[in-house]
Amino acid sequence: MNTTTSLAINREASNYPQQLLDLHDPPKTIYVSGDAAAINQQPLIAIVGARAASRQGLLDASFLAQGLAQRGYGVVSGLALGVDGAAHRGALAVNGFTLAVGATGLDVVYPPQHGQLAQEIALNGLLLSEFPPGMGPKAFHFPRRNRLIAALCLGVVVVEAAAKSGSLITAHLAADLGREVFALPGSIHSTLAMGCHRLIQTGAKLVTCIGDIVDELPHYQQQHSLLPLAQTQLKADLLTKSVVLSALPLLRWVNYHPSSIDEICLLSGISTQEALVQALLLEAKGLIERLPGERLRLLQK
């Protein structure tokens, strides 16, 4: 974000997001880079989740972001690795609006891997932070960022979250503010589903499709439509990914942190021999990387 120019907006300004005033401690000043007017021009939905998301989690986050953007909702997330990045990219892929709430000053890229993504959001969406330029990441910044995400949106969708996750903080803050909370279910054997299942047990709406989200919220018409060619390419891309996951289910259990084949087999129920075969095929497709010690890691796409 070193190339971005930020605008400071004081709490008394007419273009200060009114949703933030629902907080007991709304920021006195926020810093934005991008289309500042868009924040008050359409309803916003947050999509948050695990940084070390599974391949399926990334697909789900992107799919939901695309569907919500096509229905006129702006997609909000925290610019983190994993689900956050997939949500931002999903909205951008269909020319939708996405808002990234940062835990640093807008001139500091965190995580640094998302420098290019941050620039794309500044050009086509909006970056927002309560931290002044030059401020780097600190542990206490992330819960403060999460409260802004919760306040800005009509609802929060959680896609994969461990039992102790920052995404759960965002969801609980949203519920306290009277926002809707949604969660995607997962396998009972997956640690990344435990947080979502706990949210569902305590009242979050279970999400199986886009309709489960939009039916709970006011309906808005999209201001722009996809070209038929873009729609066809999007469907083809999602179909291709679904085919890979169906033929090579090992991919669902590989994430960005290296995991041993033994661990993956224990969680997935896939035999070691079959896992080795699928790993070879997935590596050939450029989807995963095999590391020493028979460990697997998902490649960033």
pLDDT digits (tens, 9 = 90+) for 62-90: 999 999 999 999 999 999 999 999 999 99
- Give pLDDT, residue 49: 96
What the block records as the tokens of 129 is 């932070």
For the whole model, what pTM was predicted?
0.74
Q: What is the arithmetic mean of pLDDT over 23-44? A: 91
Residue 33 has pLDDT above 90, yes or no: yes
pLDDT level of residue 36 (50, 70, 90 thresholds): confident
CATH number of the structural domain 229-298: 1.10.10.10
**Structural fold of domain 7-221:** Rossmann fold (3.40.50)
Strand-pair partners of 259? 296
> 108 pLDDT exceeds 50?
yes
Q: What pLDDT was estimated at residue 79? A: 96
- 126-129: strand order across its sheet: 7-10, 29-34, 126-129, 98-101, 74-77, 44-49, 155-159, 180-183, 205-206
Domain boundaries, the chain: 7-221, 229-298
Which pLDDT tens digit goes with each residue over 148-163?
999 999 999 999 999 8
Mean confidence (pLDDT) of the chain: 86
> Which pair of structure tokens corresponds to residue 212?
């489960």
Mean pLDDT for the stretch of residues 201-223: 81
Any idea which residue has 């709304």 for tokens?
A: 26
